Structure 1
């Protein structure tokens, strides 16, 4: 998802228990990024720190409260607020889940079409109203 909330990359569909990291590496997404220029925003379970460090890609992950920690420091709270303002655009991808077409079970005969279905639904999401008006970002 781009900073404006547009879906800019769509991998092929993965079944089973493919992890975010496995898909990220298999799709070679890191090779699409410009070292020292691009950044990636992830949540705490998306473990690509080593890949980003090796390729000089800035990684943004909101701080999270670990064991024995009940409150963020002032710096962590400010960082969390800043990331939250940017993450609102990522929420656009959640709109994919609103399409009934993607909630149904498919006959195995439709399986070869799933990637095409995802492309069409993603295009419809990109054509939909943004989450925030253009003066908000």
Structure 2
């Protein structure tokens, strides 16, 4: 999922199988193709896609960690705090979509997992509509 700083959903990938790694999915779902120079991609520690993100002149933002040191440097603490504030908004948007559209919480019939038109499964279409309706709703990320 791609989310703009204002909280709008800007990208939804198609569904992938449960054994697909996060790295493979990110590098192959198309989200990176939408990056512009200077964009930021938020990721967790150990998510090694900096080379892929860098090819688009974008930045991979990962929270700092102590890695054997007793504490973080003050600049790293501040940068991690700012990242955490942005990540909260991302989690709020994802949580809103999950809570608001109960169809996403229910058991999905297997026929919705097959692409009948050759491009999108029924589930992909449902998720896309839920994301679009979320974008048309009142924003949950404060402006300013």
Give TM-score scaled by structure 2 length: 0.79
Could you list the structure 1 runs, at least 4 aligned residues long, displaced by more than 3 angstroms after superposition: none
Task: Tell me which of the two structures has the higher relative contact order, counting C-alpha pairs closer than 8 angstroms and 6 or more residues apart.
Answer: 1
Counterpart of 1:16 in structure 2 is 18
Structure 1 residue ranges without an equivalent (≥5)? none
CA drift at 1:60: 1.2
Kindly indicate which of the two structures has a greater share of residues assigned to helix. Answer: 1
Q: Which runs of 5+ in 2 are unaligned?
A: 114-120
Mapping for residues 74-89 of structure 1, pairs under 5 Å: 74-89=74-89
What is the correspondence of 1:1-137 to structure 2 with a 5 Å cutoff? 1-35=3-37, 37-66=38-67, 68-91=68-91, 92-98=93-99, 99-111=101-113, 112-134=121-143, 137=144
The answer on whether the counterparts of 1:96 and 1:122 sit within 8 Å (CA) in structure 2 is yes
- Please give the alpha-carbon distance, in whole angstroms, between the structure 2 residues aligned to 1:86 and 1:133: 11
Query: Could you report, residue by residue, the CA deviation over 1:91-122 in whole angstroms, capped at 9, with x for unpaired residues?
Result: 21222221321122222122231011101111
Cα distance in structure 2, aligned partners of 1:78 and 1:38? 20
CA distance in 1, matches of 2:106, 2:33: 34
Q: What is the alpha-carbon root mean square deviation over aligned residues?
A: 2.0
Q: What is the number of residues matched between the two proteins?
A: 133
Question: Under a length normalisation based on structure 1, what TM-score does the superposition of the two structures give?
Answer: 0.82
